[in-house]
Amino acid sequence: MPFFDWTGKCGRACARIHWGLALGAATVGCRGKAPPPASFDPRVTVAVVRSSEVGRTVRLSGTLEADRTLPLGFAQPGTVEAVLVQEGESVKRGQALARLVTRSLSDALGVAEAKAAQADDAVRRLEPLRRNGTLPEIQWVEAETGRQQARLVVSMAQKNLDDATLRAPEDGVVSRRHVEAGASVLPGAPAITLVKTRRMLAVAPIAETQIAHVQIGQPARVTVSATGKSFQGAVREIGVLADPLTRTYPVKIALDNADGALRVGMVADVHLQQRDGESALVVPPAAVRIDEHGGTYVYVVTSDDKARREPVQITGFVGEDTALTGRIVAGARVVTSGTPMLTDGIAVRVANDGKAAVAP
């Protein structure tokens, strides 16, 4: 087998090839220039800030509550014999809902009735003596008093027996059973919760900066996604005590629920129309951005096509647009595309028409 090394003929030839390649690369590097990096001007779409002269719509998120909630309990202690209704069941006024064990109560009523009969018999026996004047008046008064007391004891025993059956005070729906058969109950402890649902309440919190524009009777539109429908209602109550954490007040909108489609706990999207006569600056929702601290801002495109970041505050909604305040003016252009890598002062290229006044 022939042997080649770098000191031989073949070795010198290979060395010349390597040196030639290296010199060629160096020559190209000296004679040529790298192309400059292309400028980065992101394309954006813009919308025009407009002034709306109509009242703003405040959009709130809340939940549905029953028009009335009635926690019902027994008036006396005892042991539950039976619960006669199920959760979600509609009941009528006077319908029996639950019952206590009544043996001792029935016995007490029997004793009271026996004593009342004895008192009546005593009065009948003394009446002839009273008529002929041989009965002292004090004995007749004692007999009459004893009869009245016995009758009152019968009345109380009968009421205790009647109270052993828990009845619905009005029409409604059973929302919860708090007790079951065999459980011991105390007077007034909730046993059944009854709700009135022919009318419902959409309850939503509203910021303290907007509460002054809400009035009793103000019309509202409530959308319930669970039903896929919108309902017309009116403000029935406005809270007077703010939540200490969120600084919001509860607003309650009354809704008709004759068909029973609305249920307690459903999520409600409340739209309150504020007729304050003030104009509002509105932009599409896509123009509003949120920073890492929860603040809101927009990018305004200036006259030299640069994006300028401006902080704003959302004050409500007008139709599908967002109403806001800040250092922006009607007619300015704001970025609506979700273009990444936008920074304050970056040059941009407007992709759409963008005909509007431009910020300086």
Q: What is the pLDDT of residue 125?
A: 93
- Give a yes or no: residue 168 inside a domain: no
DSSP collapsed to 3 states, 201-268: EEEEEEECCCHHHCCCCCEEEEEECCCCEEEEEEEEEECCCCCCCCCEEEEEEEEECCCCCCCCCCEE
Mind listing the pLDDT tens digit for each residue in 210-257? 888 888 998 899 999 999 899 999 999 999 998 888 889 999 999 999
Would 89 be classed as within a structural domain? Answer: no
Which among 81, 74, 84 has a CA at the least distance from the CA of 100? 81
Q: Is residue 211 part of a domain?
A: yes
Give 162-197 pLDDT, tens digit per residue: 999 999 999 999 999 999 999 999 999 999 999 998
pLDDT band at 277 (very low <50, low <70, confident <90, very high): low
- Same domain assignment for residues 243 and 230: yes
The answer to whether residues 265 and 282 belong to one domain is no
pLDDT tens per residue, range 299-321: 999 999 999 999 998 877 776 78
Asked if 266 and 299 sit in the same domain, the reply is no
Does residue 233 form part of some domain?
yes
Supply angle C-alpha 198, 200, 202, rounded to 5.
Answer: 170
Looking up residue 124, the CATH number of its domain turns out to be 1.10.287.470
Per-residue pLDDT at 292: 87
Q: 137-163 vs 103-131: helix axis angle to the nearest 10?
A: 160
More confidently predicted of 79 and 258: 79
Question: Can you give the residue range of the structural domain that contains 153?
Answer: 102-163
Number of domains in the chain: 3
Backbone angles phi, psi at 18, to 5 degrees: -65, -40
Q: Is residue 17 part of a domain?
A: no
| Domain's final residue, options 112, 146, 163 | 163
Quick one: CA dihedral 170, 175, 181, 186, positive or negative?
A: negative
> What phi, psi does 65 have (nearest 5°)?
-125, 160
Band (pLDDT 50/70/90 cuts) for residue 275 is low
* 297 and 345 assigned to the same domain: yes
Helix or strand (DSSP H, E) at 118: helix 103-131
- Residue at which a domain ends, from 163, 187, 213: 163
- Residue 231 domain-assigned? yes
Nearest partner of 116 among 158, 53, 55, judged by Cα = 158
The verdict on 269 and 286 lying in the same domain is no
294 and 257 both lie in a single domain: no
Q: Do 206 and 264 lie in a common domain?
A: yes
The enclosing domain of 328 has a CATH number of 2.40.420.20
Q: What are the pLDDT digits (tens) for 39-90?
A: 568 999 999 999 876 556 778 999 999 999 999 999 999 999 999 999 989 9
Same domain, 269 and 283: no
Q: What is the DSSP letter of 285?
A: G
Structural domain contains residue 216: yes
pTM of the model: 0.54
Of 273, 296, 313, which residue constitutes the final position of a domain?
273
Q: What is the CATH number of the domain that holds 208?
A: 2.40.30.170
pLDDT at 316: 73
Q: What is the pLDDT of residues 92-131, one digit of tens each?
A: 999 999 999 999 999 999 999 999 999 999 999 999 999 9
Q: How far apart are CA 239 and CA 128, in angstroms?
A: 71
Does some domain include residue 344? yes
Give the model's pLDDT for residue 278. Answer: 60
